[in-house]
Chain A
Amino acid sequence: MSVSNLLENWSEFRHKHPVEDVPHDPYKWAMSIDLDACTGCNACSVACYAENNLPVVGKEKYAHGQAMHWMRIERYWPEDDREFPDQGAQFLPMMCQQCEAAPCETVCPVGATNHTPDGLNSQVYNRCIGSRYCSANCPFKVRYFNWYDYPTTENVWPAEMTQQLNPDITLRGKGVMEKCTFCIQRIRVGQRSVKNEGRVLRDGEVQTACQQVCPTNAITFGNLIDTESKVHQQWKAQRVELAVDEQTKDKEEGGSDLRGYRILEELRPYPSVMYMERVRESAI
């Protein structure tokens, strides 16, 4: 039985590619992030910790680069001659880009990370053996490994705080890779409830935790297939397409008024997150 499964379905299983295959239907989850609106307040990161039961590893492990922030705010300083008080940082919220041709998926020896039919890059914790090849091959370095057994580590979730853990999310034990899932638990609950009503999810019915808390509405999440959705309209307005590796903005001679781009697009992972360039000067 399982041998025939292997022989018959294998190619089908790995064949979905954004360029040649029909895109996902009825859902393709995507995001757009307006860097001009982002103030670097880190609320998205905090919300992610709360929503996804992320372990708080403490100062020492953070300094070792062992933090588990699925959503992180990166700071960059433009190379001009100004120093800190005059020059503010530029912020970049970074999470798993849910690549359509994800470099992490092909290299996992046990197939613990796969593509879902609605265009997410899933991570199967129970299947992961911790080879960390996915992280090694991830261009964005957004995969986080459980270096310790965090659920039993002191001070990660003190006893009085276990009541605030999200019951919809499993706790990950040591030796497992994890990453942003676009709050898949919320998506699945939403999909199931509208299935009973015989319709598809409407824009805004499912929000990711980071999107929900963003005070400046910098993060937009939604269904890219749905032409009514805000994320679809933003992608369209910026003329960013999912299945190409160079966007209109970069092709236009002598600069462009468009702001939409995707990070490390030239490596052709076809990320599902569009960023909109900063227009203002960095915060002062």
Chain B
Amino acid sequence: MKDIREDIAWAKINKDVLKSLESPRKLYWAILTVAIAMVAVAVGCEVYQYNVGMGVANMDNPHVWGLYIATFIFWIGMSHSGTLLSAILHLMHADWRKPIYRFAEAMTTFSLMTAGLFVAVHLGRVWQIYYALPYPNERGVWPNFQSPLLWDAMAIFTYLSSSILFLYVGMIPDLAICRDNIHSGWRKKLYTLLSLGWEGTDRQWRNFRITYLTIACFLIPLAVSVHSIVSSDFASSQQPGWHITSFGPYFVAGALYSGCAAIITLFIILRYVFKFEEYMTLPILKKVVRLTFAIAMVWTYLNLIEYATVWYSHDEASKHVLIMKATGVYAPFWWMMNFCGSIVPLVMAFKRFQTNIPVMMVVSLLLNLGMWLERWMIVAPTFADGYYPWTWDHDQWPSFVQWGIVFGSFGWFTLLFMVFCKIFPSVSMYEVKEMVYHRSLANKKLEVTGMQESGKGAH
């Protein structure tokens, strides 16, 4: 099976992708409506919480962090795979990424935006959030540069601004195509403005390639640093269950894992909703699934390492937390996390399921459920069974406000993502053309030299 047909005409590529800006299936509007309803739930909960106080989230002493922080980590993690696909695989010249990297990169941007909201939702006095910014002021008061939360804020902001830039720069040639083809209206004006007078001259292409490559190189260390820094919120604290050296790579692996699972989910949805069957082909799905499987095994390994180091460290408090994870109030969720994170991905090892869309949809959703639970299981059990025995029996169950905001955040992400896909081309037209061209060229070469086609594509 080929990743993509080599004989798709360039005009057809334009037509197919531009059609996604005009006439998606009815399901698109259904998804959008559901997403808006979900956001409304979250907004309602947040307004209530803002007015009455954080107490309505049913946090208490010692359960001062809850689903907000867990879901914050989840969304930060989700953002990683966009960078993996668009930047790392770009440098590695894996050209199968070309039809799917655009939406993955959009996913990066929007999940970061969703994560940022959780920082605000979590704060007791969100109206003073600017205190955490190092702005010069007459009082000479600075934020505390020792605090991992501050590193967090900076790392996320840097990553967000860079990935928006990367997404935008990579889109310029496509925006020019949109500008040239779309009927007049506000969108034409938008594309005209954003395409920066792109005409496709040699000089423009050369500058474009260099810029794109530079930002890609710049983005990769950021992607690794942002989640290691999120992990240092925990690793550099003193609490049992958090104070673990391997959290850096563990968090990054978990991030790539949930991100790849989300790419599979969105791949399947976009493929259907925008009729991209020609471009988001099953062989490409198969490659993503294999990548996800590999990352799942890395994550499983790091997860086991974490258990082993805690178990053999003879640090009684950490060990107690681990035992209570497996047997205490959080036990059902902890076991479900291990099941979804380490057992479910084994399905992906079977060839016959790798391209089975219903199965992959269910598996990818389960993987993300597992990864969300993982974040929760990092944050919450430490409070329930930490150092201080007096705190062990306190009520820990999150209220509907927390659940509502977490639920709504998925709607918020979907809303942003779906609006993006309707306004901007979610398949990179110029790169798909490149891919088609290169492959047809390679095929011709094979015909001339008379060698057998390997069947693995040519790159």
Residues of B within 8 A of A3 (CB): 136
Cβ–Cβ contact B143 & A140, under 8 A: no
Task: Confirm or deny: B208 has a beta carbon within 8 angstroms of a beta carbon on chain A.
Answer: no
B317 CB to closest chain A CB, in angstroms? 9
Cβ–Cβ contact A141 & B124, under 8 A: no
With A94-B390, A129-B132, A144-B61 given, is the CB distance from A110 to B144 under 8 Å?
Answer: yes
Considering the complex, give the chain A residue whose CB is closest to the CB of B396: A65
A148 to B54, CA, bound (A): 6
Cβ–Cβ contact A135 & B62, under 8 A: yes
A272 to B52, CA, bound (A): 36
B237 CB to closest chain A CB, in angstroms? 5
Interface string of B122-138 (1 = CB under 8 A from A): 11111011011000111
Partner of B146, one of A14, A64, A128: A14
Residues of A within 8 A of B145 (CB): 10
Interface string of B415-445 (1 = CB under 8 A from A): 0000000000000000000000000000000
Task: Confirm or deny: A23 has a beta carbon within 8 angstroms of a beta carbon on chain B.
Answer: no
Task: Confirm or deny: A264 has a beta carbon within 8 angstroms of a beta carbon on chain B.
Answer: yes
Considering the complex, give the chain A residue whose CB is closest to the CB of B52: A148
Residues of B within 8 A of A135 (CB): 61-62, 64
Considering the complex, give the chain A residue whose CB is closest to the CB of B390: A74
Of the listed stretches B87-95, B148-156, B302-310, name the one at the interface; the rest are far from the partner chain: B148-156
Among residues 111 to 131 in chain A, which have CB atoms less than 8 Å away from a CB atom of chain B?
A: 111, 127-131
With A127-B141, A130-B54 given, is the CB distance from A108 to B128 under 8 Å?
Answer: no
Partner of A175, one of B65, B125, B143: B125
A262 CB to closest chain B CB, in angstroms? 14
Cβ–Cβ contact B147 & A61, under 8 A: no
With A107-B148, A144-B61, A145-B64 given, is the CB distance from A132 to B124 under 8 Å?
Answer: yes
Task: Indicate the size class of the contact surface on chain A.
Answer: 35 or more
B221 CB to closest chain A CB, in angstroms? 23
Residues of B within 8 A of A109 (CB): 132, 143-144, 147, 149-150, 153
B281 CB to closest chain A CB, in angstroms? 46
Of the listed stretches B164-172, B262-270, B324-332, B380-388, name the one at the interface; the rest are far from the partner chain: B380-388
A264 to B149, CA, bound (A): 25
A127 to B124, CA, bound (A): 12
Cβ–Cβ contact B137 & A139, under 8 A: no
A65 to B53, CA, bound (A): 15
Residues of A within 8 A of B153 (CB): 109
Task: Confirm or deny: B209 has a beta carbon within 8 angstroms of a beta carbon on chain A.
Answer: no
Partner of A149, one of B53, B123, B129, B391: B53
Among residues 370 to 427 in chain B, which have CB atoms less than 8 Å away from a CB atom of chain A?
A: 383, 386-391, 394-395
Residues of A within 8 A of B386 (CB): 139, 141
Task: Confirm or deny: B26 has a beta carbon within 8 angstroms of a beta carbon on chain A.
Answer: no
Interface string of A45-86 (1 = CB under 8 A from B): 000000000000000010111110000101010000000000
| Interface SS of B by simple majority | loop
Task: Confirm or deny: B55 has a beta carbon within 8 angstroms of a beta carbon on chain A.
Answer: yes
Task: Confirm or deny: A147 has a beta carbon within 8 angstroms of a beta carbon on chain B.
Answer: yes
Cβ–Cβ contact A147 & B53, under 8 A: yes
A174 to B153, CA, bound (A): 23
Considering the complex, give the chain A residue whose CB is closest to the CB of B66: A132
With A108-B144, A136-B237, A145-B64 given, is the CB distance from A174 to B54 under 8 Å?
Answer: yes
Cβ–Cβ contact B60 & A107, under 8 A: no
Task: Confirm or deny: A190 has a beta carbon within 8 angstroms of a beta carbon on chain B.
Answer: no
Task: Confirm or deny: A259 has a beta carbon within 8 angstroms of a beta carbon on chain B.
Answer: no
Residues of B within 8 A of A144 (CB): 61
A44 CB to closest chain B CB, in angstroms? 16
With A132-B65, A148-B53 given, is the CB distance from A175 to B147 under 8 Å?
Answer: no
A136 to B136, CA, bound (A): 29
Cβ–Cβ contact B123 & A110, under 8 A: no
Cβ–Cβ contact A110 & B124, under 8 A: no
With A110-B143, A136-B64 given, is the CB distance from A2 to B137 under 8 Å?
Answer: yes
Beyond known contacts A74-B390, A108-B147, A109-B149: 16 more, CB 8 A cutoff: A3-B136, A5-B142, A61-B55, A65-B63, A103-B238, A106-B147, A107-B146, A129-B123, A133-B149, A141-B386, A141-B391, A145-B61, A145-B64, A148-B53, A174-B53, A174-B54
- Chain B residues with a Cβ under 8 A of chain A: 52-55, 58-65, 122-126, 128-129, 131-132, 136-150, 153, 233, 237-239, 383, 386-391, 394-395
Nearest 10 pairs between A and B by C-beta? A130-B124, A175-B124, A147-B55, A65-B60, A111-B144, A175-B125, A109-B149, A148-B53, A65-B394, A132-B64
A-B contact pairs, 17 of them (CB 8 A): A2-B138, A10-B145, A65-B61, A129-B125, A129-B129, A132-B64, A132-B124, A135-B61, A139-B238, A140-B388, A141-B386, A146-B124, A148-B52, A149-B52, A149-B53, A175-B123, A264-B387
- Chain A residues with a Cβ under 8 A of chain B: 1-3, 5-6, 10, 14, 61, 63-67, 72, 74, 76, 94, 103, 106-111, 127-133, 135-137, 139-141, 143-149, 174-177, 264, 267
